A and B are shown apart, each in its own frame.
Chain A
Amino acid sequence: MDANTSQLLELIRPFKGQTGATIPVLQAIQTNVGYLPPESFALIEQEMGIPASKAYGVATFYAQFRTTPVGKHLIKVCDGTACHVKGAVNILTAIRDYLHLADADTTEDRVFTVQVVACLGCCSLAPVMMVGETTYGSLSLEKTREILDSYRAGEV
């Protein structure tokens, strides 16, 4: 999805004149566009008077923000403490192998993006991952592959 300037402006304008709105405006853009397109920062400066350098500094400080597009399905693999001691690293390796990801985090067909996160709050079901809005717990290597199979199947 490519965002055009008017869509970005529409997302930015409601925050005009609000104090402490840097993070909320970035969140609004990311939620709707999927990431922060480079032109967002200049537009934020133009509309809200927040220097682009500052907005960019905030965007790169917080783990939530992305400045590159993500695949259709965002897979968040938890590597918090509970998931870590229950083998999260093996799950991550299996997912990356399955998707044939060498260095990149997004598959070439832009269908999947893999992101490592620290704790999804379902630690008692570790290891845990999230695909889009759906959380999957008590993962084994086999179960992980089955879940990915089901998403793959939905793509063809």
Chain B
Amino acid sequence: MDKTTILVGYASCGIAAGAREVRALLEAKVAENGAAAVVKQTGCLGVCYDEPIVEVHDAKGRWVYRKVNERKAERIFAEHVLGGRPVEGFLFHELSASGREPSHYVLKRQERIALANSGVIDPECIDDYLAKDGYQALRKVLTTMTRDEALQVVIDSGLRGRGGAGFPTGQKWSFCKKTPGTEKYLVCNADEGDPGAFMDRNLLEGDPHAVLEGMAIAAYVIGASHGYVYARAEYPLAIRRLRIAIDQMRQRGFLGEKILGTDFAFDIKLKEGAGAFVCGEETALFASIEGERGMPRIRPPFPAEAGLWGKPTNNNNVETYANVPWIIRHGAAAYRAFGTEKSAGTKVFSLAGKIERGGLVEVPMGIPLRDVIFDIGGGIPKKKAFKAVQMGGPSGGCLPASLLDTPVDYESITATGAIMGSGGMVVMDEHTCMVEVARFFLGFTQRESCGKCTFCRLGTLRMLEVLDRICEGEGRQGDIEELQELASQIKGASLCGLGQTAPNPVLTTLKYFREEYEAHIRDKRCPAGVCKPLITFHIKADDCSGCGACKKACPSDCITGAKGEPHEIALDDCIKCGSCRDVCPTGAVYTR
């Protein structure tokens, strides 16, 4: 190895944590010193809690630096890049020079298939992707396999849709393949609507070519010649990288006419969404591409018969496509070696909320929730108690501590009343009110309902009114029953998944945290200390060390007390924001 490579984690999360400044500094230093080094960008390794990440590859191996700021970057450059001595104190972990065999416990439990290149290659450089066997799967399929053979591999792999419902991918492709017609469409759903999930963003920012290669393979199998990626408007960087990747594909002959010298022709267009959750639902998504309001359509006809522009259409999620090249290269059995009988392979999860190590992880399906949240995610910060994990976003549910041993696979999660969804996990601690969380989700689905079905449009509003009332301390006897009644009506009388699943966050919290609803309604109490009309903040004099942290954090200056003496909160001025509780090192702040 001649040149030293300096890799900067440059996905949205890294940039938000300060990677832009770090990258600029490193680039300037390299230029200034004429150093034998190159600065490259890469996607997110998944360890978002340690961003910005800088990786140095030199003759001796690969070193990963965590939480790099400009000051640290300067030292890394001077001591490691120029001086050849890694800065031990800033290291995240060592990676062996032979490949990605991280010794670090966080990555150890993971199996990376979809995320294999994320945080490793430059996502804007097709040669980086090609060096990782990129487009080998497409070549293999086009030059050595029939459409049926390729389809069979996907069927045998047991791959299921990663967009939420878990429908077998091979089976879905076979429906569309069977439909007669010469004009077929292939769509990639990159709308990632679950607010609190970011797997697809990361895949698109970290390894867009894998997704596009998966699409090309699917198009070949199905016989589609037109492809669309429908990307969420809030993801400008993902859109930029997709655009670059599509252009590169075209330049290298992986898109267009006569792909790789065969008769296969395929092209991909990029469509930007415009901010509507319901457009993640596939028929609404088609309407949106067609330039209409994103309203779901009645099925049948199913998309495989009449989808986009009324033509046979196959739609899959970003992560679903991203798995396909690996499966073709390694075979169905290799994929099946991971996961469970019914849920084969690996799944990417995003960890966020009250968790020590928030980020992205890819694990074999079937591992217990507990291992994901505690072993990999590091558990709850500040020694607080775990309360629930929300899975499946607005269509999903909140699972309590007693279900932490549930294996993460489609059937097991569905049996709890939540859903696997697209893989977002938001962890909640003792200071999260489950009634308020249910209200949050209902507020979301109510706003996002397209309005086509009466029960979804108005039923969610009625449910929201009841939840508002409970959180305001005006709950009445019978409210819980009313919620249940409305929930069953909405589920039964809605056309699409949005309405059919909208009550789930309420139903699961009622199932697992009913006493919290009752405390609000009967005792006018919010046990988690969240619902402002029901609480007041206090400081336990015995536990207060008088450090003054709360006083400093208080935005309304209503805390008094001398250094070293117990502090006090003036209730009249308190806005109940909870900042004092968040910063108190001794846990002396409590609510009544």
Residues on A close to B: CB < 8 A?
19-24, 26-27, 50, 57-58, 61-65, 79-87, 90, 93-94, 117-126, 128, 133, 135-138, 140-142
Contact = CB atoms under 8 A, between A and B. Distances in A.
Interface residues of B, number: 61
Contacts of A22: 291-292
A156 to B, nearest CB: 24
A21 B116 CA distance: 36
Nearest to A94: B555
A121 B190 CA distance: 12
Contacts, number: 154
Interface stretch (B74-82, B155-163, B195-203, B412-420): B195-203
B539 interface: no
Contacts of A90: 577-579
B275 A124 contact: no
A83 B197 CA distance: 11
Given A90-B578, A125-B51, A126-B358, 9 more contacts: A63-B276, A82-B353, A86-B353, A87-B582, A118-B277, A121-B232, A122-B48, A124-B358, A126-B352
Contacts of A23: 271-272, 274, 288, 291
6 contacts: A61-B450, A82-B195, A85-B432, A124-B352, A125-B51, A141-B577
Given A85-B426, A94-B555, A118-B444, A123 B290 contact: no
* B contact patch SS: mixed
A121 B235 contact: yes
B291 A81 contact: no
A65 B274 contact: yes
Given A82-B196, A123-B350, A141-B553, A19 B15 contact: no
Contact of A135 (B16, B393, B424): B16
B354 interface: yes
A17 to B, nearest CB: 13
Given A58-B292, A141-B579, A122 B12 contact: yes
B324 to A, nearest CB: 23
Interface in B353-394: 353-354, 358-360, 390, 393
A58 B274 CA distance: 10
A88 B293 CA distance: 30
A70 to B, nearest CB: 15
A126 B353 contact: yes
B591 to A, nearest CB: 15
A142 B554 CA distance: 9
A124 B440 contact: no
A50 to B, nearest CB: 8
B551 to A, nearest CB: 13
A86 B530 CA distance: 11
B577 A93 contact: yes
B353 A64 contact: no
A21 B393 CA distance: 31
Contacts of B450: 61
Interface in B227-243: 232-236, 238
B208 interface: no
Contacts of B194: 81, 119
A58 B12 contact: no
Given A20-B289, A58-B293, A141-B555, A81 B390 contact: yes
A146 to B, nearest CB: 13
